Amino acid sequence: MRSIAHGLMVAAAGRSGFATGGTVTTITDGGTNYRVHTFTSSGTLLVYGSLTAEYLIVGGGGAPGESWSTGGGGGGGVLYTSAGSGISVTAGSYSIVVGAGGTANDNALNDGGDSSALGLTAIGGGGGGAFDANGNTGGSGGGGGSSDGSAKDGGAGTAGQGSSGGSGKGSGSPYFGGGGGGAGGAGTSATGSASGAGGPGLLIDITGTGVYYGAGGHGGTPNGSTQSSSGGSVLPGVSGGANTGAGGGGNSDDSATTKGNGGSGIVVIRYAI
């Protein structure tokens, strides 16, 4: 009797190859049939034969600091190939790492974790600055915290993966945090009466369903004021969605008890069948 592995290797001798690992689905996109491997946690992709892989790799989103009027977390970095492009992958075992979202904290632990696959790494989002602190760098940068003095800067994003965070507000009360950067654009800076908005994510439908990935979190506000959200950006006090790489929103009350954590990342690999 032939082994399962042998059967897979025979199947791989065709045009598109074959693989196992993650949650497997099949979709049709633009008239082409694809086999899709979705990893919502770390795992292994086993490739038989060779194939051309399209991919989405998203780092975990950053989280705000714990003090009041913090900057929003930056979105996790996004690496993506559009339909019809991709990279050549030969037979073998490939480790897949899915980065965790950051946890609201006043130190570097609020950065999101990196995600990696096929030799590529998407950097986790930078944590938002605590009170009187700058935002951290990352796939997208965290928003700057509020300040008793000058405005605090947002963190820088990583070229080709995300954008910078906006600055927090200084020199006067009430204070507001800057918005975390997103994969689709920079976070905005706080003004005299509002926190900065999180940068938008990228709307990607590699799995057959459009999702905003790598959006930034809005900056914190001391009075729970109403905010608007676009492009998947995350409101104050709200956590980024799981497996979207969205940054968490800064605190939404004076006591700094309501703040969001970063959303975990994701890895998606697909190939024509």
| Residue-level pLDDT at 4 | 30
Whether 12 has a pLDDT exceeding 70, the answer reads no
Closest CA to 58 of 268, 271, 270: 268
Instruction: Compute the 3-state secondary structure of the chain and give helix, strand, coil in percent, each to the nearest 5.
Output: 5, 25, 70
Give the integer Cα–Cα distance in Å for 33 and 194.
47
Backbone angles phi, psi at 133, to 5 degrees: -140, 150
Residue spans per domain, the chain: 1-273
pLDDT-derived band at 255, boundaries 50, 70, 90: low
Predicted TM-score (pTM) of this structure: 0.92
- Average pLDDT of the chain? 90
| Residue-level pLDDT at 258 | 84
